[in-house]
Amino acid sequence: MADEERPARALPAESQGQAAGRGRLKGRRILVVGGGQRVVDAETDPVGNGRAMSLLFAREGAHVAVADVSRVAAQATADLIASEGGRASVITADIRKPDDVQRMVEEARAALGAIDGLVLNVGVGVGAHGLAGATAADWDAVLEINLRGPMLACKAALPVMEEGGSIVFISSVAGVTAGSRLPAYDASKAALGGLMRHVALEGARRGIRANIVMPGLVDTPLGRLATRGRPGRARTPVPFGRQATGWEIAYAALFFMSDESVYATAQILAIDGGLTGIS
């Protein structure tokens, strides 16, 4: 039977965000930076990575501080957590501003009591395609958010994190393979690996781990917006034959956030349906 004739494989409950929590993060206090969600089409938007992680962590027993530049978006995520009986606090901060980042960490500690988990789910891609379309201003704007922002967050959070904590950076396969056609975006995601390894080095003495989850193509509101700007994105030949869901990225982050990965640090986990390993 030809591939196009094969019936679509049913997604498991985890991929659809329908699996029950199993207490894997019971008692944990986690700050999710970028835990809100952009609204592209409120009627059809799938869950984004940040919201999926925040919800999943709460389902698994964590108290979550949802931080976002948009208070409305962060509050919407917190409200969803509360509707499921979970605990969430809301923080508004702009990761481009050092003072905001410091305040964000202080507010998270106050709200949660302590921090033993940090997720950095931030990233933008702006500007015209290719080097010919790149400008110095666009380059600086992208690295300010995608690389300097996570550095500032780690600088503020690492000294006050609890021993045995975990830091998870959400990157992109654009950091290891050309594809976005946005030089600044690709470069920022590649450089995130260097930052992650340094954070892992500094955290090792206190058992604080730092790792990267590297998504491929994901069906999120931002992903759909990116496809509008570059329709060819939707035709990328993913070996699994589909894009990931935000929940599938969240479960990878859950692994790194839980004690199941207690001996894993300075690692990069690609969640891309085989895009970088098979294609």
Contact 101/16 with Cβ under 8 angstroms? no
Q: Which two tokens stand for residue 122?
A: 């931030």
**251 among known catalytic residues:** no
Separation between Cα atoms, residue 202 and residue 148, nearest integer Å: 17
d(CA 62, CA 125): 31
* SS (HEC) of the chain: CCHHHCCCCCCCCHHHCCCCCCCCCCCCEEEEECCCCCCCCCCCCCCCHHHHHHHHHHHCCCEEEEEECCHHHHHHHHHHHHHCCCEEEEEECCCCCHHHHHHHHHHHHHHHCCCCEEEECCCCCCCCCHHHHCCHHHHHHHHHHHHHHHHHHHHHHHHHCCCCCEEEEECCHHHCCCCCCCHHHHHHHHHHHHHHHHHHHHHHHHCCEEEEEEECCEECHHHHHHHHHCHHHHHCCCCCCCCEEHHHHHHHHHHHHCHHHCCCCCCEEEECCCCCCCC
Catalytic-labelled residue, pool 169, 185, 247, 251: 185
For the annotated catalytic residues, the residue numbers are 185
